[in-house]
Structure 1
Amino acid sequence: MQTYDLFAPALTLADRYALFAQMRSEPGLCRVEPFGAYAAARYEDAAAILKDPRRFSSEALAVTAEPAWLGPNPVAHSMLSMDPPRHTPLRALVTRAFGPTGMARLEAQVRQVSEELAEAAVRQGEVELVDAFTFVLPRNIIGAMLGLDPSTFSEFKRWSTNMGMLTSATTEAQYEAVRSVVREMRDYLTEVIQARRRRPGEDMVSDLLQAEVEGQKLTDEQLLSFLFLLLPAGMETTTQVLGNAVLTLAQHPEQLELMKADKAHIPRFIEEVLRCEPPTQLSFRMAMQDVELSGTKVPAGSLVLGLVASANRDERVFEQPECFLPGRDKGTQHLSFGYGVHFCLGAQLARMEARLGLEALVSRIRGLRLCSPEVQWLPGFSIHGPAVLPVELLPA
């Protein structure tokens, strides 16, 4: 069985996709370093891992989110690391906030924030778009949803970036940065929960403290774990979708014209960005028993990876997978938001933020140009998107 190093420092994005293609051509699963995990590079295998909690448990997150150098981490005890039946009532408690009614209430606010940020960015002309738009939009929305003090928003990017380094930190400086952020977030979010218990408001934290399913409420520790998960995820997913969308627009200027002619093209464009450049590249699971997948025997207790970024380019499912083709057949069948019981709670919110964000930006420009030919990607492998995005926006 071939072993691949996904974190090799010299591995470019093009190298990574070539590596995925090679992995998909191997019989059965592969092994990957530095985890020593079994990796599913083909769509069928990755989907099988993600949808079957009986054989492939999400408790792997608890293992990977609490490495020896870190210690206790609330994310490790969130519902993302639970399987049914423990997962089911917790999911039911928090799903309400992300349902159609909740999203409908948010749409006007997302549209307003998008319009304001897009207007300010286009006025600047040359602008670093992560700090001006792609990060600030979801940050402001998730901050408002949780009822957080805007004066604290300036810390969120550092928190989000360092939490995204959990599975790929390799140096003592990176270890300490993550440890520091976990301490800061724990103190901050514990204080938020305590404040809402004393004085509930019209926000998601207050709603979750009051919510019940079959007479059961969230404990403070359960809510803390959920907020540890939600705050970075609520920013990172949309930030990377928007950032990757802007990079794609620079590479495919004809897509801008299609959007300007018909904004109904924007959702199709977003789905193809999600397929080609998923914001989350992989998902961890743990084999709960000795299993066999595509002829590979996986011992119980082994870490298993669903390689989402590879599965989304599987030639067996998507025709011409290396081509950017919005509206393609099976275009929404990508695994970028997961599959099965752990399908991303915030998928509808991320899609709405990306759609309204692009509508606001596209309507104000006649073109855009990257200020540097080299893209500076986020460190690590798990989260995929530009760390900075200097662009010139040509006003319409």
Structure 2
Amino acid sequence: MQTYDLSAPTTRSELNALYAKMRNEPGLCRVEPFGAYAASRYEDILVVQKDAQRFSAEAIAAAAEPSWLGHNPLAHSMLSRDPPRHTQLRALVSRAFGPAGLARLESVVRREAEALAESVVRQREVELVDTFCFLLPRNIIGHLLGLDPSTFPEFKRWVSSINLIASATPEQYEGIRSAVREMKHDMGAVIAERRRKPGEDMVSDLVRAEVEGSRLSDDELMSFLFLLITAGMESTTHLIGNSVIHLARLPEQFEQARADKAHIPRFIEEVLRYEPPIQLNFRMAASDVELSGTKVPAGSLVLALIAAGNLDERVFEQPEQFLPGREKGTQHLTFGQGMHFCLGAQLARMEARFALEALVSRIRELKLRSPEIEWIPNYGLHGPRVLPVELIPA
């Protein structure tokens, strides 16, 4: 069985070429630095994402809670739970992300996007990640949770620290432990306050939620808040950032987005396929299993390489081309499949859509101030670390 090193490619094109080699292997591959089995073809990834009996999500817990860290609520969220508890937890929290909940949020997201776009366009030359791409999902999550805006500046440090866990060096350990402690303290205070005095916010809704006589414990609430803050901010930040990069590099796409708002959702779906903010999923073989002729021993780490599957020529015609509105354009793997399909997928789409609408309606040109993008150093997440741009007002 061939082993591939995911750290070897130095450019996106080199990584995509590596994925193509992996898809042409007769079965699964092994990958470093994880020492894991990897599914790189679309159909194999579907199986890994959907078959919770054979491919357990508990691998996420192991990755999120190394021995040097101690207890990490994120490791015990529903993201790392298998049925039946995952089913119960999802039922308890899913109502907040249903059509009615999103409809209530729509005006808030639009208002925030308009205000942030107005601010960055006035600056003209601006670093867009910290001033726009991150601030929109940060402010929306803060609003959802009913938090005081004075606490919002802490989110960036918390999220950045938690996302370092899998690749942290010993020099970073204490900073990450400190961030987790602070987040637990502050979110614990929020939960306690909502139990004493519920309001009109998601935490209060979760405190009141009941399905078949079951309610969320404080630990389960804490785990969900950790998941919402980290996943809800980081992935949407990178979706918006990756979208801006493609608007800047593809002037015809920018002009289409300016001319027709209906083009923007199609454009976002293609960004999700072509430049996914989530690059892979972790799973663990629950027993000895076989996939595409490869025998995987029980307890082995298995990676579903989303970014590779989204480029599978067996499913997508001309997968290396950026083609919004393509056939099967919404059938990408980025939000997962089956029971672990991302609860916040529609919210992320809404935030990205309103962000791009607000931005392109205010400018006649979008320029990257550097031809080279400085990407975040993370195997699982993909987006710009910084994004210096020039915005030419309309």
TM-score class normalised by the smaller sequence: over 0.9
Alignment of 1:300-311 (within 5 A): 300-311=298-309
Q: Which runs of 5+ in 1 are unaligned?
A: none
Alignment of 1:210-359 (within 5 A): 210-359=208-357
Post-superposition shift, 1:67? 1.6
Post-superposition shift, 1:175? 2.9
- Aligned structure 1 segments of 4 or more residues deviating by more than 4 angstroms: none
Letter in 2 for 1:53: A
Note the alpha carbon deviations across 1:88-127, whole angstroms, 9 max, x for none.
1110010000000000000001000111110111111001
Post-superposition shift, 1:179? 2.0
Partner of 1:157: 156
Distance 1:29 1:233, change over 3 A: same
Note the alpha carbon deviations across 1:193-213, whole angstroms, 9 max, x for none.
111112211110011001100
1:284 is paired with a residue of what secondary structure? strand
1:167 is paired with a residue of what secondary structure? helix
Whether contact under 8 Å (1:168, 1:382) holds in the other structure is no
Post-superposition shift, 1:215? 1.2
Q: What TM-score results when the alignment is normalised by the length of structure 1?
A: 0.97
1:380 is paired with a residue of what secondary structure? coil
Q: Which whole-Å CA distance do the structure 1 matches of 2:52 and 2:279 have between them?
A: 20
Whether contact under 8 Å (1:165, 1:379) holds in the other structure is no
Q: Which whole-Å CA distance do the structure 1 matches of 2:328 and 2:167 have between them?
A: 32
What RMSD in Å do the two structures reach over aligned CA positions?
1.1
Whether contact under 8 Å (1:250, 1:369) holds in the other structure is yes
Q: Which whole-Å CA distance do the structure 1 matches of 2:54 and 2:366 have between them?
A: 47
Note the alpha carbon deviations across 1:152-181, whole angstroms, 9 max, x for none.
111111111221222232x22233332222
Letter in 2 for 1:367: E
Q: Which whole-Å CA distance do the structure 2 matches of 1:204 and 1:94 have between them?
A: 9
1:31 is paired with a residue of what secondary structure? strand
Note the alpha carbon deviations across 1:254-302, whole angstroms, 9 max, x for none.
0011111111000000000000111110001111111111110001111
1:324 is paired with a residue of what secondary structure? coil
Q: Which whole-Å CA distance do the structure 1 matches of 2:165 and 2:214 have between them?
A: 32
Letter in 1 for 2:246: T
**What is the identity percentage for the equivalent residue pairs of Structure 1 and Structure 2?**
70
Q: Which whole-Å CA distance do the structure 2 matches of 1:70 and 1:123 have between them?
A: 43
Letter in 1 for 2:283: R
2:290 is paired with a residue of what secondary structure? strand
Return the match for 2:372 from 349, 371, 374.
374
Partner of 2:6: 6
2:302 is paired with a residue of what secondary structure? strand
Q: Which whole-Å CA distance do the structure 2 matches of 1:391 and 1:43 have between them?
A: 35
Q: Which runs of 5+ in 2 are unaligned?
A: none
Q: Which whole-Å CA distance do the structure 1 matches of 2:354 and 2:170 have between them?
A: 40
Post-superposition shift, 1:12? 2.6
1:43 aligns with 2:45: no
Partner of 1:75: 74
Whether contact under 8 Å (1:260, 1:362) holds in the other structure is yes
Alignment length (residue pairs): 394
Q: Which whole-Å CA distance do the structure 2 matches of 1:59 and 1:211 have between them?
A: 25
Whether contact under 8 Å (1:164, 1:382) holds in the other structure is no
Letter in 2 for 1:328: R
Letter in 1 for 2:377: P
Post-superposition shift, 1:376? 1.0
Whether contact under 8 Å (1:167, 1:382) holds in the other structure is no
Q: Which whole-Å CA distance do the structure 2 matches of 1:75 and 1:220 have between them?
A: 13
Note the alpha carbon deviations across 1:351-383, whole angstroms, 9 max, x for none.
000011111111111111011112111122111
Q: Which whole-Å CA distance do the structure 2 matches of 1:305 and 1:331 have between them?
A: 23
Q: Which whole-Å CA distance do the structure 2 matches of 1:251 and 1:69 have between them?
A: 42
1:173 aligns with 2:171: yes
Partner of 1:92: 91
